[in-house]
Amino acid sequence: MKLPNLKILDEKDDRLRKMSKEVEFPLTKEELKMIDDMLVYLQMSQIDEEREKYNLRAGWGMSAVQLGILKRIFVIAEELDDHSFRNYIIINPQILSYSEEKIYVGEGEGCLSVNREVDGIVPRYARMNVAFYDQFGQKKTMRVREEISIAFQHEIDHLNGILFVDKIDPKNPYKDKEKMREI
């Protein structure tokens, strides 16, 4: 694999605070290449040798807005037990329903656009039903759970101009921890 030349925006960039726009189909060649590049980057960031070789921070997901492109597109590369990847290509997502149960990442969430340690927990829904389009313009629905549900919510927040740090109470970073399940 060859590392794509992606410029990931830092949290100080105002573009990360803007609402992304709906995508029209068919996708352009540039949009399809961006999706492929994002997936390759995320996969390489999760492979130890590649991460060390290119000095990458590991990431599961990336939104187009993190590249300065204000379109409602995100991808997730989930590494499976056999070291292969399950790729999610999500365009124009819409949350249809979500669980009452809330969860949080025990070691804390991270983000390729936030280059610092952040203390605190981010309340997330344990399960969600999501409608979206794939890269071919086919409408789909999916039920996501646990880590994938968190990743979807994190990326959907990006599309709405929200960073995970915005969801941490600055006065009480571990607020309501006892009302949620750690994963």
Which of 50, 117, 155, 182 is flagged as catalytic?
Answer: 155
Please give the sequence-ordered ranges of beta strands (E in DSSP) within 45-138, or none if there are none.
61-63, 73-79, 85-98, 102-104, 124-125, 127-133
DSSP label of 123 = -
- Taking alpha carbons only, the member of 123, 157, 181, 177 closest to residue 11 is 157
CA angle 116, 49, 47 (to 5 degrees): 70
User: Tokens 């101009």 map to which residue?
Assistant: 161
Q: Which residues contact 121 (CB under 8 A, 6 or more apart)?
A: 104, 105, 108, 168, 173, 174, 175, 177, 180
Q: What is the DSSP string of 20-56?
A: PBPPPSSPPHHHHHHHHHHHHHHHHHHSHHHHHHHTP
Is residue 155 part of the annotated active site? The answer reads yes
Residues annotated as catalytic (active site), given as ranges: 155
